[in-house]
Amino acid sequence: MADPLLTFTDRGIYCPRGDFFIDPWRPVPRALITHGHSDHARPGHGSYLATHQSLPVIRHRLGDISSEGIAYGETRDIGGVSVSFHPAGHIPGSAQVRVEHKGEVWVVSGDYKTTPDGLCEAFEPVRCQHFITECTFGLPVFKWRPQEEVAEEINGWWATQAAAGGFALLGAYSLGKAQRLLHMLDASIGPILTHGAVEATNAILRGQGYDLPDTIHVTPDLDVKAHAGALVLAPPSALGSQWARRFRNASTGFASGWMRLRGVRRRRGMDRGFVVSDHADWDGLLSAIRETGAENIYPTHGYTEIFARYLTESGYTARVVPTEFGGEDAGDEAA
């Protein structure tokens, strides 16, 4: 039996024939990067290949790197292997990586969600025989409500706080989640204030043409009292910090797929938990797998053992692949 096109190593997913890695977690000579979150786009690689849309954030975070952009759907030959990037729907610029040689096709999903959010490039299923899929929320309990309903819930909470002259302090990761929330907010309720990590990412994405509402960067000299009734968007690390204490009479909220679990909501100690995830839910994972047509599935980072068992019982050949990706908890606050 011929060696597989992709293998799994202690540095990451590797293509021996093309001599490249996909989202490696240790330094390698050549890395193909699915998106800009810090658990997938790590420092120290010799060269980086990513979509044109994700490169600005990656360069901002990693500094002076040797990097090249690629368009969605564009095919590159790397060592005789055909490589292309396809929308993953996770965050702006995110991609699945398709790898083909002599009719053998693998797809590495990176992180993805299958429902459009109106901001980032919508997920596109890619046909293959081998599918390496995340399963961050690979349990039946994880099923997301329509985005419109969650947006109404968040805006209602904000409007209540604004009417009382208080603040709505909302925690969300600074790349992807924060911008998606901005896209969901009703800016007529009041001003929107942002932590520096969120605002730095906003500036990069606005420069690329992504449509975001106006925001006010919270600087040390900003008079927050003059912006009573605002929604304040900040990364999780800022909640409960000295930075956040300037917002008196604030109700705190957190947006994450983990808010689907009551125990997590309690441990977070927030007033409100909003179920908003940039990862596929249970139904999304299964529909994505079906649409690939793949028979060989490799679940990674998430409820891998449970998800693989379900897939096996459903007739797939499933093998768990250990990785060092962080899923929904991936820290992205370095921006």
Please tell me whether residues 259 and 225 are part of one structural domain.
Answer: yes
The band of 331, judged by pLDDT with boundaries at 50, 70 and 90, is very low
For 193-208, write each residue's pLDDT tens digit: 999 999 999 999 999 9
Retrieve residue 93's tokens.
Answer: 């610029």
Q: For residues 275-302, give the mean pLDDT.
A: 97
Please tell me whether residues 53 and 73 are part of one structural domain.
Answer: yes
95 in Cβ contact with 36 (< 8 Å): no
Q: Which has the closest alpha carbon to 29: 54, 68, 66, 58? A: 66
pLDDT at 317 exceeding the cut of 90: yes
CATH number of the domain where residue 90 is located: 3.60.15.10
Residue with tokens 């932590």: 195
Angle between helices 196-207 and 55-62 (to 10 degrees): 140
Instruction: Determine the pLDDT at residue 14.
Output: 98
For the ranges 150-154, 268-272, 307-311, 312-316, the lowest mean pLDDT is seen at 268-272
Q: What is the strand order of the sheet 81-87 is part of? A: 75-78, 81-87, 95-101, 104-108, 130-135, 296-302, 317-318
In a domain, 2, yes or no: no
Predicted TM-score (pTM) of the model is 0.94
In a domain, 335, yes or no: no
Please tell me whether residues 118 and 164 are part of one structural domain.
Answer: no
- Average model confidence (pLDDT) across the chain: 94
Instruction: Determine the pLDDT at residue 332.
Output: 42
Instruction: Determine the pLDDT at residue 328.
Output: 63
pLDDT at 268 exceeding the cut of 70: no
For 29-54, write each residue's pLDDT tens digit: 999 999 999 999 999 999 999 999 99
Please tell me whether residues 287 and 233 are part of one structural domain.
Answer: no
The band of 333, judged by pLDDT with boundaries at 50, 70 and 90, is very low
pLDDT at 334 exceeding the cut of 60: no
CATH number of the domain where residue 174 is located: 3.40.50.10890
pLDDT at 124 exceeding the cut of 80: yes
By residue range, what is the domain housing residue 74?
7-142+278-329
For 75-109, write each residue's pLDDT tens digit: 999 999 999 999 999 999 999 999 999 999 999 99
Tell me the pairing of strands 20-22 and 13-15: antiparallel
Q: How many domains does the chain contain in total?
A: 2
Tell me the pairing of strands 192-194 and 250-255: unpaired
The band of 12, judged by pLDDT with boundaries at 50, 70 and 90, is very high
pLDDT at 260 exceeding the cut of 60: yes
Instruction: Determine the pLDDT at residue 267.
Output: 64
Helix (H, G, I), strand (E, B) or coil at 291: helix
The band of 266, judged by pLDDT with boundaries at 50, 70 and 90, is low
Residue with tokens 């909640």: 239
Please tell me whether residues 192 and 110 are part of one structural domain.
Answer: no
